[in-house]
Amino acid sequence: MFYHVKELQYRAKPERPDPIYAKKLQEILGGQFGEISVALQYLFQGWNTRGDGKYRDLLMDTGAEEIAHVEMLATMIARLLNDAPVNAQEQAAKDPVIGAVMGGMNPQHAIVSGLGSMPVDSVGNPWTASYINASGNLLADMRMNLTYESQGRLQAVRLYEIAEDRGVKDMLSWLIARDTMHQNQWLAAIAELEAKENVVVPSTFPRELEKQEVSYTLFNYSAGNESAKGRWAYGPSMDGCGVFNYVENPVPFGKKPKLKPAPKWVHDTPLNVLRTSDVHPDPDTK
Amino acid sequence: MFYHVKELQYRAKPERPDPIYAKKLQEILGGQFGEISVALQYLFQGWNTRGDGKYRDLLMDTGAEEIAHVEMLATMIARLLNDAPVNAQEQAAKDPVIGAVMGGMNPQHAIVSGLGSMPVDSVGNPWTASYINASGNLLADMRMNLTYESQGRLQAVRLYEIAEDRGVKDMLSWLIARDTMHQNQWLAAIAELEAKENVVVPSTFPRELEKQEVSYTLFNYSAGNESAKGRWAYGPSMDGCGVFNYVENPVPFGKKPKLKPAPKWVHDTPLNVLRTSDVHPDPDTK
Amino acid sequence: MFYHVKELQYRAKPERPDPIYAKKLQEILGGQFGEISVALQYLFQGWNTRGDGKYRDLLMDTGAEEIAHVEMLATMIARLLNDAPVNAQEQAAKDPVIGAVMGGMNPQHAIVSGLGSMPVDSVGNPWTASYINASGNLLADMRMNLTYESQGRLQAVRLYEIAEDRGVKDMLSWLIARDTMHQNQWLAAIAELEAKENVVVPSTFPRELEKQEVSYTLFNYSAGNESAKGRWAYGPSMDGCGVFNYVENPVPFGKKPKLKPAPKWVHDTPLNVLRTSDVHPDPDTK
Amino acid sequence: MFYHVKELQYRAKPERPDPIYAKKLQEILGGQFGEISVALQYLFQGWNTRGDGKYRDLLMDTGAEEIAHVEMLATMIARLLNDAPVNAQEQAAKDPVIGAVMGGMNPQHAIVSGLGSMPVDSVGNPWTASYINASGNLLADMRMNLTYESQGRLQAVRLYEIAEDRGVKDMLSWLIARDTMHQNQWLAAIAELEAKENVVVPSTFPRELEKQEVSYTLFNYSAGNESAKGRWAYGPSMDGCGVFNYVENPVPFGKKPKLKPAPKWVHDTPLNVLRTSDVHPDPDTK
Amino acid sequence: MFYHVKELQYRAKPERPDPIYAKKLQEILGGQFGEISVALQYLFQGWNTRGDGKYRDLLMDTGAEEIAHVEMLATMIARLLNDAPVNAQEQAAKDPVIGAVMGGMNPQHAIVSGLGSMPVDSVGNPWTASYINASGNLLADMRMNLTYESQGRLQAVRLYEIAEDRGVKDMLSWLIARDTMHQNQWLAAIAELEAKENVVVPSTFPRELEKQEVSYTLFNYSAGNESAKGRWAYGPSMDGCGVFNYVENPVPFGKKPKLKPAPKWVHDTPLNVLRTSDVHPDPDTK
Amino acid sequence: MFYHVKELQYRAKPERPDPIYAKKLQEILGGQFGEISVALQYLFQGWNTRGDGKYRDLLMDTGAEEIAHVEMLATMIARLLNDAPVNAQEQAAKDPVIGAVMGGMNPQHAIVSGLGSMPVDSVGNPWTASYINASGNLLADMRMNLTYESQGRLQAVRLYEIAEDRGVKDMLSWLIARDTMHQNQWLAAIAELEAKENVVVPSTFPRELEKQEVSYTLFNYSAGNESAKGRWAYGPSMDGCGVFNYVENPVPFGKKPKLKPAPKWVHDTPLNVLRTSDVHPDPDTK
């Protein structure tokens, strides 16, 4: 169950409105790696954790914090949209800078949300649950979480760099710091789990059931062999269970596939048509 | 540029058709963590790498291999769909097991693809590029790649467990082994990059620009403090630049937000309506 | 900012597992009118409310409650998935009922979420933010909220009817009661706003700017005139500002549109081709 | 069955082309609350009405009218795109206002549709059937229809406010008037149905099957109690069947959920790993 | 503008309900090549036709007919859903055939639409406007239309083959016949346009602006040369403007791409990290 | 199985960066008819071909080529994004042309991909597999392929027209030439298949099972009869099996549908409510 307090986790107040920047800032609210993604991903992972304890608690703590970040961004975006001018062309005729600004605004901020934030990314794609996952395997999920905090902090930093407003930068410096913590905490959880389980997910699948002869092989499927120069091509594998090897000219292990004709009711191209076409006079022998 | 050879990387032949399993196997072809996702993700990351060298090459090698995995799964699914019965109810009347099987088949395998595989997941959602990313930052992207191989191997293992066909299990044991390698190789690349860059992405953002006072703080936003028991709550942080600390009863740092009224042209609820409503006689004082 | 308490708002415990029902129950978790929709819709409406006060508070209260409902459903679904059998066909061979059950399970509950709930609907479509809105106009939004509680309660009632498990029915009877309250509360808010603003949204647009001659006209665009029998066809309009009238045989007010040719750089079908085709010998005059 | 007449319901002719406005106007053609949404929603509701009569007829009448509105908007947008300049930068170099205009045009209007309208919204999201519904319950559906006409009229009014072209404003004044009628007609239908069924949807579910003790309770899940000041917190409920009450400090009714471990074949995090982690030495006692 | 008549274009009455078949039949209502797709595609192409005349008229005629087909399918599906049993497991316990049937029903037909049809395909994906197009170039669009009628008739035929109900087959035999006509009519339009414009779309782009040396070349990018046996590899090209030629061992015409480093503000992987990694001791020289 | 060579099929180097054009060029990379669509469509059609031979080989050849086109476009877009300016407003203040340019850039090119290409279209919609199909029927699929090359070449030509950079035009002239070939090759395959199968897809469905009386009939569903002037209205049908005929005033063949009431558990509007409403006093008789 959840309680809301009306104060923000951290302040979210720009120096002045800026509807173009509002559009861009949507990326870390409603984009692939935005705050809605991490909030719902951590909550679902917490709810799906089969077993009590500190991992579930950590996920719920962080999920609850991320909703507070959605709230901060929603507030900031609404404020960046204050006083948006009505009419782009009229303004543009007077002042080309304003014209450029209006041309770059998200029109739905005016027409759809009435100068409020929206659960969309910086080009207007609605947030979708196909961004996230909760698999029941904590090591897999913690790696996903680390990924989201890494991509998310990267985006927040880019937004910091292209911002000029000190209020915006102030709020972003908070979010960036929290992403530092969240990367650190998922790294800590991963370290703990890897220490107990080794590094390959899932750790519980019997090794003898996989084709172990290719479990540590790098196949070089592109001309040239620069990929041979990496740590991944020679020496002990990262899981300590094998030795990396490099195959410079990989060949197929399987055969050319030949599929059975479809039953008649499917009305695929009939075999006699396919076959006739195969006996089309060979140009080389004409 | 790409060349195709007609042989498969590894064999993809079931002992017998099984249209329900074909539907499930779609998950690792066209699902969130399926082979289309990794193929296109690695290729886009390779193409976007600004600078030549071993990382770009490794990404292209692995991307090319993943298209071969799409090919193996497409072949296997087409063969699992061989001879699918026409008519579910007729069959069900004769044999409830066949009836159950037909009820669980993906109807599009019959109606849309004519007994071929499709770029969809196990419930029929079409593959979407919103699953993937190529950010230009290799450490962020390698973590995403490790995530995809972790979730992907987990799904392949689950599909192995619910399979009975030896041909299917044979092919999955190949894909699972390759996922072992791919987890190992991305771990190796990550280890190399972290050694040069430290662990927080992006490593190039000046630390003094973030609110460092909360860069290593765990806020306990849920009742109870089981989350205090983890490695993430005390001791040196994973990046070696700070010390974790735990705030049991976090309070807001910001104020209650109050948004300015919208301009008249937006036709939001007018302020006098909002205000009148605020002076609605308080039931406690009536 | 949000706090989580570990206890559920209301209990969510089935008598026994039922993976098919788990699939169906997803509808009111992650479907169009499910709990994720109402949670995020109310929160965004609250955050976008320009002006403080009771409406914003009510929206935040209810939004926070709806996340607790997501939590209850997530818990219930995970428990309905306990002990799901591994292998459909093997089971089906032994027991056709189990076979039928397994055929009807959402395969992603096994392969993707590891027997956890997912942010998807009952056929597996991921939740999307295109379901929801926060317009800045409270009367418009309260009507949307009433709609969501109406459709949502209808779906919960249908799920109650097709449930047999007493634990499931117990939880649904709670959610249905809450939907009763939420319909009542949005009706109360609507009544209050309509009393101040009249019933047409937005109320602030000057009436003289719309084509008032058709503001209360029902055009009968289908053969037959059963639609003339409704309250909407005669008598004073609902907003008290006009009189309904019924046009049995409506005619067009506009002309046949004729579009200008496209500029050459667009490479639409060239006009001479279109025109030549127009002078194709008329079959009647040949 | 449907017949088309070539004349428009009302004229759709701008004074002059304006490709940026064309992009914005797409919102009420192909957006969430645009004319495609209402057209298909009313038609599906009509087709699904089980029983003949005036409601079905009204839905079909209005659905047919909405296709005519799609036609008017499609025509208007094509005309707003007449003579779009070829080359943004060249123009921008000469005239920054034109440059700003071109930068704000939807590039697909040039590249994809050849200066025609598209079934997309103002940021280019394709229309999706996940916007709409037809539930079989008329009161639920009429509320959805009222919602769509409320949000739709709001958007049309905002587009009117940011328009300058008299032809555009003329057409919008028609559509706004029709939305006035459509809000009035759905309000009339709702009034009729509520008079027969009472206000809670669905009206046919036995009241004794819901947890009536919370059917009229407002739980205050956020700090502060401004929400207590509304009509929804005290007095008789809107359905006349209960009395609103307000719970200032709601507590959980359920227990802390504890989920059973997953079966082994799922390869979730094994319980011993979870447990070991739970006995991680408590930092406070070290 | 559109008028509706209440009678169906052709009868749509099954002999008896069949909720599984109802689910499958959704494919040609709301799937990629279903009736909603063709209805909206033809209407948008008609509305976007710049120039009056027979093509626009033909598109509007056929678009209007396709809405009538949506109506027939919606009616048929509602009737196939009549009397759907409430409870799958209860039924399954009594009768495994009914159990299998219920397990294969679309749960949204019960929970969401109340036994009505939906604008979705046979696995429940909502219809999306990303299926369709209207490009302004009639030859391109007529080919798209021919494609949709070809794929659509193929699906209708497959549905005919797996149907047993004489009422369903009767209706499908009508739709299949109409698809025969529509393929014929688009073929006729294509023949007319190709006669005037030649076969390559768009016909108006100056040939000298394309790299004519590869305008008729088949590059053999896969091992083996079976593709050399087709009409496309030798002889005059289909547009009569060139001669097909076959390159058995194609080589790249471009160079290995090398991208410039990103500016610092982007925080891509820094060049020194990339470079250091490139001088990782070459395993061959160790 | 696939091999990658590092050289590009053809050069992809602009004269200078242009981030707005980069955004537009995304259309033919990740849009509906872009290179990802054709690459995956041809590969899936090849993999699903049931039978060996030249068609499968041709599809694989062309699919492999199209991945090389994705690679060229990805490279070109990354180069068009070189040195993108950081800050739109700062630049705009100095130089309105640069300001206009920045306002029109895709913000995700800066924030998400770090100045790399993305698998999205020109407005930012992620590529989706719902664009493509592989039906198992080659004639249906070859028509789809011809459609994609027709629409794709049209879009490439439009992009050529609005380009100014000679490097961009050079690359587009290559892609346009390849589209010329691909239209020609699919036309050749279609000609071959139609010669063997006749023109209506699928050719294998017995003619006597369709309602032949309407297989060659054009129903005129719109007022006016311009559509009668086409080749499709009179004379022998294109398949040579019938004679086109034109019905100027088509009437319904079916009856007015009347649906049975839903079972009680569905909680649709109860019949007595519907009925009562039908006996609402007729205004004409009051």
Encode chain D (286 residues) as per-residue pLDDT tens digits. Answer: 999 999 999 999 999 999 989 999 999 999 999 999 999 999 999 999 997 789 999 999 999 999 999 999 999 999 999 987 655 555 555 555 555 555 678 999 999 999 999 999 999 999 999 999 999 999 999 999 999 999 999 999 999 999 999 999 999 999 999 999 999 999 999 999 999 999 999 999 999 999 999 999 999 998 888 999 999 999 999 999 999 999 999 999 999 999 999 999 999 998 888 876 554 443 433 3
* Average pLDDT, integer, range F228-234: 93
The rounded percent of chain E whose pLDDT value lies above 70 is 89
Q: Which two tokens stand for residue B264?
A: 């008249």
Q: Which two tokens stand for residue A275?
A: 């076959």
Task: Give yes or no for B283 touching D (CB within 8 A).
Answer: yes
Residue A263 distance to chain D (closest CA, Å): 34
Burial of E64-74, coded b for 16+ CB within 10 Å and e otherwise, reads: bbbbbbbbbbb
Q: Which residue ranges of chain B lie beneath pLDDT 50?
A: 279-286
* CA A147 to each of CA A154, A176, A200, B145, E182: distance values in angstroms, whole numbers, following the listed order: 11, 15, 17, 9, 51
Residues F243 and F136 in one domain: no
Query: Nearest CA to F2 among B117, A220, A229?
Result: A220
Per CB-CB distance under 8 Å, the chain A contacts of F47 are: 257
CA dist., res. C103 & res. B155, Å (int): 19
Residues F217 and F178 in one domain: no
Residue D73 distance to chain E (closest CA, Å): 10
Task: Give yes or no for C249 touching E (CB within 8 A).
Answer: no
Task: Give yes or no for C228 touching F (CB within 8 A).
Answer: yes
Domain span at residue D149? 19-197
**Which residues, 6+ apart, have CB-to-CB distance to A111 below 8 Å?**
D24, D27, D122, D155, D158, D159
Residue indicated by tokens 């044979």: B170
* Average pLDDT, integer, range C20-25: 94
* CA A1 to each of CA B212, C3, D219, D254: distance values in angstroms, whole numbers, following the listed order: 31, 8, 12, 10
Contact assessment for residue A70 and residue A117, using Cβ atoms and an 8 Å cutoff? no
Which pLDDT score, from 0 to 100, does residue E277 have?
56
Best mutation target among C175, C269, C278 (most E Cβ atoms within 10 Å) is C269
Asked if residue B184 is part of any domain, the answer here is yes
Domain boundary among D172, D197, D222: D197
Asked if residue D8 is part of any domain, the answer here is no
DSSP B231: T
Residues E129 and E252 in one domain: no
Which pLDDT score, from 0 to 100, does residue D214 have?
97
Per CB-CB distance under 8 Å, the chain A contacts of D158 are: 110-111, 114
The rounded percent of chain B whose pLDDT value lies above 70 is 89
Residues C100 and C223 in one domain: no
Contact C267 F233 (CB under 8 A): no
Query: Nearest CA to B107 among B20, B10, B15, B28?
Result: B20
Q: Which two tokens stand for residue D221?
A: 């899940």
Q: Which two tokens stand for residue B263?
A: 């301009």
Per CB-CB distance under 8 Å, the chain F contacts of D136 are: 262, 266, 268-269
Which pLDDT score, from 0 to 100, does residue D91 have?
55
Residues B215 and B168 in one domain: no
CA dist., res. B81 & res. A107, Å (int): 47
Asked if residue B40 is part of any domain, the answer here is yes
Best mutation target among A32, A38, A57 (most B Cβ atoms within 10 Å) is A57
Residue F88 pLDDT exceeds 80:
no
C227-249 confidence digits (pLDDT tens): 999 999 999 999 999 999 999 99
Asked if residue E213 is part of any domain, the answer here is yes
Residues A82 and A117 in one domain: yes
The rounded percent of chain F whose pLDDT value lies above 70 is 89
* Average pLDDT, integer, range C138-161: 97
Best mutation target among A75, A160, A181 (most B Cβ atoms within 10 Å) is A181
- Please state which of the ranges A57-66, E188-197, F262-271 shows the lowest mean pLDDT: F262-271
Which pLDDT score, from 0 to 100, does residue C95 have?
57
Per CB-CB distance under 8 Å, the chain E contacts of A280 are: 229-231
Task: Give yes or no for D139 touching C (CB within 8 A).
Answer: yes
Mutual angle of helices F96-103 and F19-30, in 10-degree steps: 20
Task: Give yes or no for D255 touching F (CB within 8 A).
Answer: no
CA dist., res. E152 & res. D43, Å (int): 22
Which pLDDT score, from 0 to 100, does residue F284 have?
39
Of E154, E181, E213, the CB nearest to F137: E154
pLDDT band (50, 70, 90) for residue C187: very high
Query: Nearest CA to B31 among D131, F66, C107, A136?
Result: C107
Other C-beta atoms closer than 10 Å to the C-beta of B8 total 22
Domain boundary among B139, B170, B197: B197
DSSP D246: E
Nearest chain D residue to C235, by CA? D188
Residue C92 pLDDT exceeds 70:
no
Per CB-CB distance under 8 Å, the chain B contacts of F5 are: 1-3
Helix, strand and coil content of chain B, in percent to the nearest 5, comes to 55, 5, 40
Residues F75 and F192 in one domain: yes
Enumerate the β-bridge partners of residue A247.
A219
Per CB-CB distance under 8 Å, the chain B contacts of C113 are: none
Interface partners of chain B (CB pairs < 8 Å, 3 or more) are A, C, D, E, F
Asked if residue C178 is part of any domain, the answer here is yes
Asked if residue C254 is part of any domain, the answer here is no
Cα dihedral angle (B200, B205, B209, B212), rounded to 10 degrees? 10
CA dist., res. F103 & res. F88, Å (int): 7
**Which residues, 6+ apart, have CB-to-CB distance to E4 below 8 Å?**
C221, C222, C223, D1, D2, D60, D61, D63, D64
Of A161, A162, A283, the CB nearest to E228: A283
Of C230, C278, C283, the CB nearest to F228: C283
How buried is residue B281: exposed, middle or buried, by Cβ count under 10 Å (0-12/13-18/19+)? exposed
Contact A87 D162 (CB under 8 A): yes
3-state secondary structure chain E: CEEECCCCCCCCCCCCCCHHHHHHHCHHHHCCCCHHHHHHHHHHHHHHCCCCCHHHHHHHHHHHHHHHHHHHHHHHHHHHCCCCCCCHHHHHHHCHHHHHHHHCCCHHHHHCCCCCCCCECCCCCECEHHHCCCCCCHHHHHHHHHHHHHHHHHHHHHHHHCCCCHHHHHHHHHHHHHHHHHHHHHHHHHHHHHHHHCCCCCCCCCHHHCCHHHCCEEECCECCCHHHHCCCCCEECCCCCCEEEEECCCCCCCCCCCCCCCCHHHCCCCHHHHHHHHCCCCCCCC
Which pLDDT score, from 0 to 100, does residue F87 have?
57
CA dist., res. C256 & res. D6, Å (int): 5
Residues A53 and A193 in one domain: yes
Asked if residue F3 is part of any domain, the answer here is no
A32-60 confidence digits (pLDDT tens): 999 999 999 999 999 999 977 899 999 99
Q: What is the mean pLDDT of each run of 10 residues along chain A (286 residues)?
A: 97 94 96 98 96 90 98 98 68 54 82 97 98 97 98 97 95 98 98 96 97 97 90 96 96 94 91 67 38
Contact F7 E52 (CB under 8 A): no
Burial of D62-87, coded b for 16+ CB within 10 Å and e otherwise, reads: bbbbbbbbbbbbbbbbbbbbbebbbe
F150-200 confidence digits (pLDDT tens): 999 999 999 999 999 999 999 999 999 999 999 999 999 999 999 999 999
* Average pLDDT, integer, range F8-23: 95
Contact A119 C30 (CB under 8 A): no
Task: Give yes or no for E236 touching C (CB within 8 A).
Answer: no
Nearest chain E residue to B137, by CA? E268
Nearest chain A residue to D101, by CA? A103
CATH number at residue A80: 1.20.1260.10
* Average pLDDT, integer, range C143-159: 98
Asked if residue A86 is part of any domain, the answer here is yes
**Which residues, 6+ apart, have CB-to-CB distance to A202 below 8 Å?**
A137, A139, A140, B153, B154, B157, D267
Nearest chain C residue to F160, by CA? C265
Nearest chain C residue to E106, by CA? C123
Task: Give yes or no for C155 touching E (CB within 8 A).
Answer: yes
Residue C203 pLDDT exceeds 60:
yes
Nearest chain B residue to E219, by CA? B3
Residues C90 and C27 in one domain: yes
Task: Give yes or no for D135 touching E (CB within 8 A).
Answer: yes
Which pLDDT score, from 0 to 100, does residue E285 have?
35
Other C-beta atoms closer than 10 Å to the C-beta of E154 total 28
Residue A126 distance to chain D (closest CA, Å): 9
Q: Which two tokens stand for residue F281?
A: 């006093």
**Which of the pair, E285 or B36, is modelled with greater confidence?**
B36
Contact assessment for residue C91 and residue A26, using Cβ atoms and an 8 Å cutoff? no
Q: How many independent structural domains does chain B possess?
A: 2
CATH number at residue A243: 3.30.1530.10
**Which residues, 6+ apart, have CB-to-CB distance to D180 below 8 Å?**
C200, C210, C215, C216, C239, D153
Nearest chain D residue to A202, by CA? D267
Residues C32 and C147 in one domain: yes
Residues F190 and F277 in one domain: no
Q: Which two tokens stand for residue B102?
A: 């037909």
Helix, strand and coil content of chain C, in percent to the nearest 5, comes to 55, 5, 40
Interface partners of chain D (CB pairs < 8 Å, 3 or more) are A, B, C, E, F
Task: Give yes or no for E85 touching D (CB within 8 A).
Answer: no
Touching A: C residues 37-76, CB under 8 Å: 40, 43-44, 47-48, 50, 57, 60-61, 63-65, 67-68, 70-71, 74-75
CA dist., res. F197 & res. F192, Å (int): 9
Interface partners of chain E (CB pairs < 8 Å, 3 or more) are A, B, C, D, F
Per CB-CB distance under 8 Å, the chain D contacts of C174 are: 211, 214
Which pLDDT score, from 0 to 100, does residue A283 have?
40
Query: Nearest CA to B27 among A133, C267, D268?
Result: A133
Residues B278 and B184 in one domain: no
User: What is the pTM assigned to this prediction?
Assistant: 0.95
Contact A54 D277 (CB under 8 A): yes
Which pLDDT score, from 0 to 100, does residue E98 have?
54
Task: Give yes or no for C118 touching A (CB within 8 A).
Answer: yes
**Which of the pair, B196 or C278, is modelled with greater confidence?**
B196
What's the whole-number average pLDDT of chain E? 91
Burial of E219-228, coded b for 16+ CB within 10 Å and e otherwise, reads: bbbbbebbbb
Domain boundary among E140, E168, E197: E197
Max distance between CA atoms of chain D, in angstroms, equals: 84
Best mutation target among E102, E212, E231 (most F Cβ atoms within 10 Å) is E231
Task: Give yes or no for A112 touching D (CB within 8 A).
Answer: yes
Task: Give yes or no for F87 touching A (CB within 8 A).
Answer: yes
Of B51, B111, B124, the CB nearest to E261: B51
Of A157, A267, A280, the CB nearest to E229: A280
**Which residues, 6+ apart, have CB-to-CB distance to B203 below 8 Å?**
B139, B197, E270
Per CB-CB distance under 8 Å, the chain A contacts of E282 are: 228-229
Task: Give yes or no for E11 touching A (CB within 8 A).
Answer: no
Which pLDDT score, from 0 to 100, does residue A270 have?
87
Contact assessment for residue E9 and residue F254, using Cβ atoms and an 8 Å cutoff? yes
